[in-house]
């Protein structure tokens, strides 16, 4: 199982969207407090639609609590400050992919301690960053692709309608 970690997320709509993506991808969501919203907030539930109750989510008091409860975890840090892109690494089955809060990203002191596992999404020009929920989807689905989308539905089915021509 892949793990998505949000370090102090601020916007309930982003976290709701990410929760929905985690349900669709079979990933666990880890939330590191403080959060910029309450978990029962309407915007969070609206963005997550009716998937929030299916979400495997764990909440931590702070980063130290997260580290204590996940000793030895392989954690990739998504940051615009990384030298490697998200496609340059091989994601382990049970790895963690961490994203920072919308306004500031992952704190510099955490990044410095984990520089070898920092990854970035390439962007053109002076763009500061992508939307958090988009960033999570991009990196999570690359990790899933590397594992051949195991246990996921790979085929869709069209419903053939009989159209009446006049």
Strands (E), the chain: 3-7, 28-32, 57-60, 75-78, 84-85, 96-99, 118-120
List residues forming the annotated binding site for S-adenosyl-L-methionine.
Answer: 100, 121, 129
Q: Are strands 118-120 and 75-78 parallel, antiparallel or unpaired?
A: parallel
List residues forming the annotated binding site.
Answer: 100, 121, 129
User: Residue 100's pLDDT is what?
Assistant: 98
User: Residue 51's pLDDT is what?
Assistant: 75
Residue 36: how many CA atoms within 13 Å on its side-chain side? 17
Would you mind telling me the total number of residues written for the chain in this entry? 166
> 3 has which bridge partners?
28, 96
CATH of domain 3-146: 3.40.1280.10
Kindly list the averaged pLDDT for each block of 10 residues, start to end, along the chain of length 166: 96 91 96 90 64 88 98 96 96 96 96 96 90 97 93 80 61
User: Residue 59's pLDDT is what?
Assistant: 96
- pTM here is 0.90
Helix (H, G, I), strand (E, B) or coil at 35: coil
């Amino acid at each position: 199982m892949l793990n998505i970690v949000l370090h102090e997320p601020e916007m309930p709509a982003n976290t709701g969207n990410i929760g929905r993506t985690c349900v669709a991808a079979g990933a666990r969501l880890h939330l590191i407090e403080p959060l910029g919203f309450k978990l029962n907030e309407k915007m969070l539930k609206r963005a997550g639609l009716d998937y929030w109750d299916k979400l495997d989510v764990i909440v931590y008091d702070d980063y130290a609590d997260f580290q204590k409860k996940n000793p030895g975890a392989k954690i990739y840090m998504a940051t615009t400050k990384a030298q490697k892109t998200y496609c340059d690494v091989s994601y382990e089955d049970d790895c963690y992919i961490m994203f920072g809060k919308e306004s500031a990203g992952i704190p510099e002191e955490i990044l410095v301690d984990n520089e070898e596992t920092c990854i970035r999404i390439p962007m053109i020009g002076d763009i500061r960053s992508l939307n958090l929920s988009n960033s999570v989807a991009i990196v999570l689905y690359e990790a899933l692709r590397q594992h051949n989308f195991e246990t996921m539905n790979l085929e869709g089915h069209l419903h053939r309608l009989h159209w009446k021509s006049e």
